[in-house]
Each structure stands twice: as C-alpha cells, then as structure tokens.
Chain A
C-alpha cells in the first residue's frame, strides 16, 4: 500500500517535472555492466586466465627455475621453457638482473620472483608497480591453495 502510493507520487512528479532517474545516464550503460573480476578459483590455469583479464595482459606463464611450467595461459608450453632458459642465460651474463623487457609483437616481460620465473606478454610495457600487483595476486593464491 505504502509502496504503491510512493510509486504513484513518483510517477506523477516525474511526469510533471520531466525527470527520469530510473534509467542510467546516457552513454554510461556499458560502465554499469562492469563488475570487478572475482579471482577465486580452485584451478591454477583458470586463476591465471582471470588474472590475465584483471591485469589486462595477453599471457602469463610461470615456471620453476628449471623451466618446468607451473601454470600458463598459453597452450604452447615451450614458451615457458624458453623464457626460463633465456632468464637463466642472461642472469649468468648480467649481475643483479631484476627484469628483462623485450619489445617484440608487444612487450615480453621476464623476471624471477620467489624461485619462479614469470613470463608476461602484454601490449604495453607494465610499470614495476603493475607487475608487483600481478605477482602479489598470484603469490597470495599459491599460498591459499597450498
């Protein structure tokens, strides 16, 4: 009853005042569809796919220091082995190596963290802050599923 009266007055006043606030503002409908990406997953590869969407990168490949793939969004597992081999080779030549950036068909970012080699393919060069945020998400997930 009370709701009905409110609705009636609302409709009446909207008509009189020419106000329509029940619709989203024009041009912003697509924004309203956006939902924050829920990273929860029991499967590492599925988690990496979600992580890829969250951090707007093309591929995430994680291997151990011997190149054995821990998780990947890329079906070509050779990519992981190659990135670990490349990291180990450059690391043997360059002291205090922190990150390798290769610009080739977008950006390829290779670095070591917590005894793992990360290989990220992205269209743009990520800042250290963005890379760290991605790594934190993955490390937290690995701690959680252990």
Chain B
C-alpha cells in the first residue's frame, strides 16, 4: 500500500512541480518505487521537467475514461514513473477531475510512494488532488503572499478532513524580511520537512535546451542535497523533522546569532 502525498501551495510559481520531480527522484534513489502524477490538468509541465516529451496518452485520457492509468504511465530518470497531464485545452474542459480519486486508489498497491503535483489555487482541481491523497505536503516561499496562500490551502485541507503532514520552505535565502521557518511552522501549525535554498543552479536547470531536474543536472549541489534530506525524512530514514515547538537555549541562540549562513 503506497503513501499518497499531494504537493500543495495555493500560490503559483512556488516550486510544487520542482519539489514533486526532485522529491520523486530522491525517493527513487533511496530504492522506493515512486509514481508522480501531474494533476495540474490545466497548466501541466511536470512532464517537461521529467523529460517525457509529447506523451501520446495522458492523465486527460485516463480521466475521460478512454485509456487506463497503465497506458499513461511513462519511465522517467532513476526508475521514476510518471503520469503526465495533457496540453489540450479542449480535453481539459471535458475531463471529470474528481475521477482522480478512484484512479489513484487503483494504483495504491503498485508503488511505495505516489506524489501528486497539485495545481495552484483552491478550486475543484486542487480539491480533487487533495482528496486523492492520504497526506498533504505544503510548500511555500518565506514571503507573506506565499504564506497567506498556503494557509488558505491548509484550511481547504481541513474542510476535507485531509491530513497535512508538514511544510517545505522553498527559495530560502536568509535575507532580512523573510518569514522565518519558526514563524511559518507557528502559523501553519505543522512541522517543517526542510528548507530548499534559493539557488542559481535550480534556475539554470530550467534554462537548459532540455530541462532537467536539479538532482540530474547537478546531483552534488546543496539544493540537490536538500531534496534528498526531505526524501529521507519522508521515508523515515532520517528522523529530523523540525517540530514547531523546538526548544531554544542560549547556545543555539548564540550559534544562530553568529552564524553567517542562516539557512
């Protein structure tokens, strides 16, 4: 029975697709059988990041009932499997997105982890992605607009009685004015699964002629390692999830105060 995790942010451009792709690869590297599903049926681009170009059968066909999930499953890097979403606007308008729940249910016995890349917003497409999952992993930037939107997404998850496992903080640079990890955990009342630094190499990986996830483009970079850390925490191989009520002491305070790198 697999763990089904929806990656949700509320706001667009926060890094849901980047997290889904790289977390999927990192979990695969740990030896797990992983499927990623692009549930962003209107603005899909997970397949571009994974490197599956122009797939003939997509999630749209599965949601329309004209193809099986197996027919829409493709091979990505490091044995990662992907069900991409289609680019057709007419199909997008025809699909019954609520069928995603039963589709994911039918795949649960085949994988260790199923990661669902949810769309931005809190509309019915996001609700379907949340409802198809067993847990929700929030992702936010350390900025007020992003935290406000992820908060709304968390409220929607509560309405649906879905479990929010934690939050990942993306594009973290430690500059003055950013909302701290502690403050984000306090507001969302969930633990942090880690921080991904704001890094040029992630941006570069999107500018390549053929886009690559950072774990493939620059496997040894700090950004890649932060995705691996999150994967280890999720798979239980590293029990370092930062709880919102972490104890503070003088030593940790001084270390934080004099540390150059606040990440």
Contacts and interface: CB of A to CB of B under 8 A. Distances in A.
Chain A bound to chain B:
yes
Interface of A: 2, 5-6, 9-10, 13, 17-19, 21, 24-28, 31-32, 34, 36, 54-56, 127-130, 133, 136-137
B148 A28 contact: yes
Given A9-B254, A27-B148, A128 B160 contact: no
Interface string B131-149: 1000000000000100110
The dominant DSSP class at the B interface is: helix
B159 A28 contact: no
A136 to B, nearest CB: 7
Interface residues of B, number: 26
A5 B254 CA distance: 12
Interface in B183-225: 183, 187
B148 A31 contact: yes
Contact of B144 (A27, A54, A55): A27
Nearest to A10: B253
Contacts, number: 64
B204 to A, nearest CB: 30
B155 interface: yes
B127 interface: yes
Interface of B: 98, 101, 124, 127-128, 131, 144, 147-148, 151, 155, 158-161, 176, 179-180, 182-183, 187, 249-250, 253-254, 257
A25 B176 contact: no
B95 to A, nearest CB: 14
Contacts of A9: 250, 253-254, 257
A137 B160 contact: no
B179 to A, nearest CB: 5
B144 A133 contact: no
B158 A137 contact: no
Contact of A136 (B98, B161, B179, B253): B161
5 contacts: A17-B257, A18-B176, A19-B176, A27-B144, A130-B127
A27 B183 CA distance: 14
Contacts of B187: 24, 28, 31-32
A36 B162 CA distance: 13
Contact of B147 (A6, A28, A55, A137): A28
B20 to A, nearest CB: 21
Given A10-B253, A55-B159, A129-B128, 18 more contacts: A9-B257, A13-B257, A19-B176, A21-B183, A25-B147, A25-B183, A26-B144, A28-B147, A31-B147, A34-B155, A127-B124, A127-B127, A127-B128, A128-B98, A129-B124, A129-B131, A133-B159, A133-B161
